[in-house]
């Protein structure tokens, strides 16, 4: 069993995302004074008194709404409640108890799960008297808090961890592969996330830009633990109109930095555009393992050469990602979706592979005998020693007589020899040249 799960629920604009950011200690949720900005569930990791737990922020629950996205937000919140061990219900001291609060409290009571009631926006001690009306929700003692000032959160968290199930000496498994799904808006990232997970976790809509935040979803498959991150679609800078969307792109960039493997999703129907290359470039520059996933492959009229031609096009347009495997899938029909996680495992292993120093130096010696290093004005490059300095991505240092003599073409030759010998599929390989001292 993993860490305990805490879900934060409430109607729109009561300050759930501010509380979420306080609990996970980072600005992960988009915070803006606009109802409904948090649309999906958002996962983070919190800690209180040496007790770690997952936190889920949810879109505001509104009852009786007919708008499709509001209905889906409610559905997402209900899924979060199902996953949770403890639920924090956030209310607003300034508006008092509303009909929506009463209906939500009735819904939460029916779950039979521990509920911690928090009254937010109690920004100074004189306001504490305003919490007593909230006893009428029937959820026990209301905890006065201020998300914006961080007041009262300690007492609330004491109650939260008091209600955690007893899991003995259970510790979080460190053997987790973090996978982020990136691409421009409407290439099918959320549908692909749902297809991999086998359930509707992320709001799927034909409206481009529905996913605004990066959604962290822990899950397990065939004994391997994963965290899947569905990121907001990244638009060209000139098209980033709202402040909200700027945060989304920043969060997507951070999701890439934190990942082991990045799935770069292309729209098979539309082909490759310049923005696809920029987005994939972020993953390459961050040194993440990369798999190129061509989605909506079912929608193309194909002959026996279509996949070959598309592969050639990808290799031409994404020359810097020549190490990345390419998968052709359909999130809609689930075609070949089952091939994604085995490939993720494979490239994650390459990304974290460490080569023994003796074996590496034998390889470099053989490579230099087969193709001697270049010389310049009578002086020849000599590679004295090689070592692997880091993993994720695999990074090698070559100690040489003169770094100026290392031509990029010879460096590429050495990289190719390393790749051939150790099958570094899906991961960038970095080579640094240093003067022997």
pLDDT tens figures, 385-409: 999 999 999 999 999 999 988 998 9
Q: Quick one: 278 and 379 in the same domain?
A: no
Three-state SS at 359: helix
Question: What mean pLDDT value characterizes the chain?
Answer: 82
Q: Is 298 known as a binding-site position? A: yes
When pLDDT is cut at 50, 70 and 90, the band that residue 62 belongs to is low
Q: Quick one: 56 and 123 in the same domain?
A: yes
Q: Is 61 known as a binding-site position? A: yes
Q: Is 121 known as a binding-site position? A: yes
Q: Quick one: 325 and 366 in the same domain?
A: no
Q: Is 184 known as a binding-site position? A: yes
Above 50 in pLDDT, residue 428?
yes
Q: Is 180 known as a binding-site position? A: no
Q: Is 189 known as a binding-site position? A: yes
Q: Quick one: 157 and 246 in the same domain?
A: no
Q: Is 432 known as a binding-site position? A: no
Mean pLDDT of 8-35: 74
Least-confidence region, from 15-29, 119-133, 208-222:
208-222
Q: Quick one: 335 and 231 in the same domain?
A: yes
Q: Quick one: 278 and 150 in the same domain?
A: no
Q: Is 350 known as a binding-site position? A: no
Is residue 306 a part of any domain in this protein? yes
Q: Is 14 known as a binding-site position? A: yes
Is residue 81 a part of any domain in this protein? yes
Is residue 168 a part of any domain in this protein? no
Mean pLDDT of 25-33: 52
Mean pLDDT of 118-146: 89
Which of 337, 263, 347, 261 is closest to 297 using CA atoms? 337
Domain termination residue (choose one: 350, 372, 390): 350
Is residue 28 a part of any domain in this protein? yes
pLDDT tens figures, 274-287: 878 888 888 898 89
Mean pLDDT of 250-260: 70
Least-confidence region, from 18-22, 71-75, 139-143, 182-186:
71-75
The percentage of the chain sitting over the pLDDT mark of 90, rounded to a whole number, equals: 44
Mean pLDDT of 236-261: 56
Please answer whether residues 195 and 20 qualify as being in contact, where contact means their C-beta atoms are separated by less than 8 angstroms.
no
Mean pLDDT of 53-78: 67
Domain termination residue (choose one: 127, 162, 197): 162
Q: Quick one: 187 and 280 in the same domain?
A: yes
Q: Is 223 known as a binding-site position? A: no
Question: Cα–Cα distance between 352 and 347 in angstroms, integer?
Answer: 9
Q: Is 11 known as a binding-site position? A: yes
pLDDT tens figures, 321-334: 999 999 999 999 99
Q: Quick one: 369 and 340 in the same domain?
A: no
Give residue 118's pLDDT.
Answer: 96
Q: Is 297 known as a binding-site position? A: yes
Is residue 319 a part of any domain in this protein? yes
Which of 212, 189, 167 is closest to 54 using CA atoms? 167
Mean pLDDT of 366-377: 90
Q: Is 175 known as a binding-site position? A: no
Residue, of 41 and 21, whose pLDDT is higher:
21
Q: What is the CATH number of the domain that holds 419?
A: 3.30.300.20
Q: Is 15 known as a binding-site position? A: yes
Q: Quick one: 46 and 157 in the same domain?
A: yes
Above 70 in pLDDT, residue 210?
no
Q: Is 230 known as a binding-site position? A: yes
Domain termination residue (choose one: 330, 350, 370): 350
Give residue 78's pLDDT.
Answer: 74
Is residue 183 a part of any domain in this protein? yes
Q: Is 183 known as a binding-site position? A: yes
Q: Is 384 known as a binding-site position? A: no
Above 80 in pLDDT, residue 240?
no
Q: Is 188 known as a binding-site position? A: yes
Q: Is 168 known as a binding-site position? A: no
Above 70 in pLDDT, residue 411?
yes
The domain tally of the chain equals 3
Q: Is 233 known as a binding-site position? A: yes
Domain containing 78: what range? 5-162
Q: Is 185 known as a binding-site position? A: yes
Q: Quick one: 401 and 289 in the same domain?
A: no
Contacts 24+ apart (CB under 8 A), 65-71: 68/205, 69/36, 69/39, 69/203, 69/205, 69/207, 69/210, 70/36
Q: Quick one: 190 and 335 in the same domain?
A: yes
Is residue 180 a part of any domain in this protein? yes
Which of 162, 164, 110, 159 is closest to 138 using CA atoms? 110
Above 90 in pLDDT, residue 183?
no
Q: Quick one: 21 and 131 in the same domain?
A: yes
pLDDT tens figures, 147-156: 888 899 999 9
Give residue 90's pLDDT.
Answer: 95
pTM: 0.59
Residue, of 106 and 209, whose pLDDT is higher:
106
Residue, of 40 and 60, whose pLDDT is higher:
60
Q: Is 232 known as a binding-site position? A: yes
Is residue 169 a part of any domain in this protein? no
């Amino acid at each position: 069993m993993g860490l305990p799960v805490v879900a934060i629920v409430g109607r729109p604009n009561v300050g759930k995302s501010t509380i979420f950011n306080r609990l996970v200690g980072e600005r992960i949720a988009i915070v803006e004074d606009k109802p409904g900005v948090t649309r999906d569930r958002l996962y983070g990791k919190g800690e209180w008194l040496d007790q770690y737990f997952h936190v889920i922020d949810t879109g505001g629950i509104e009852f009786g709404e007919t708008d499709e996205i509001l209905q889906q937000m409610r559905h997402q919140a209900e899924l979060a409640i199902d996953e949770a061990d403890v639920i924090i219900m956030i209310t607003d001291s300034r508006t008092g108890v509303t009909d929506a609060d009463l209906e939500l409290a009735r819904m939460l009571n029916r779950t039979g799960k521990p509920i911690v009631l928090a009254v937010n926006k109690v920004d100074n001690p004189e306001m504490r008297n305003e919490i007593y009306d909230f006893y009428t929700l029937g959820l026990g003692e209301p905890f006065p808090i201020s998300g914006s000032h961080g007041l009262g959160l300690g007492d609330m968290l004491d109650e939260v961890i008091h209600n955690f199930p007893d899991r003995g000496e259970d510790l979080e498994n460190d053997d987790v592969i973090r996978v982020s799904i990136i691409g421009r808006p409407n290439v099918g990232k959320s549908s692909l996330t749902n297809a991999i997970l086998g359930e509707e976790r992320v709001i799927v809509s034909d409206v481009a830009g529905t996913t605004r935040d990066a959604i962290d979803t822990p899950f397990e498959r065939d004994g391997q633990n994963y965290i899947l991150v569905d990121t907001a679609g990244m638009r060209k800078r000139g098209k980033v109109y709202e402040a909200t969307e700027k945060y989304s792109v920043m969060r997507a960039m951070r999701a890439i930095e934190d990942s082991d493997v990045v799935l770069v999703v292309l729209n098979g129907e539309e082909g490759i555009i310049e923005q696809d290359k920029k987005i994939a470039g972020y993953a390459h520059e961050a040194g993440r393992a990369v798999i190129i996933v061509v989605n909506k492959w079912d929608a193309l009229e194909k002959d026996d050469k279509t996949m070959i031609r598309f592969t050639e096009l990808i290799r031409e347009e994404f020359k810097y990602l020549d190490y990345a495997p390419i998968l052709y899938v359909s999130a809609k029909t689930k075609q070949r979706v089952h091939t994604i996680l085995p490939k993720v495992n494979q490239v994650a292993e390459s990304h974290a592979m460490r080569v023994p120093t003796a074996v590496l130096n034998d390889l470099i010696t053989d490579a230099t005998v087969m193709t001697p290093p270049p010389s310049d004005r009578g002086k020849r490059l000599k590679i004295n020693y090689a070592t692997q300095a880091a993993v994720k991505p695999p990074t090698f240092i070559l100690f040489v007589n003169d770094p100026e003599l290392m031509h990029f073409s010879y460096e590429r030759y050495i990289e190719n020899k390393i790749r051939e010998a150790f099958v570094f599929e899906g991961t960038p390989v970095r080579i640094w040249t240093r003067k022997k001292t």
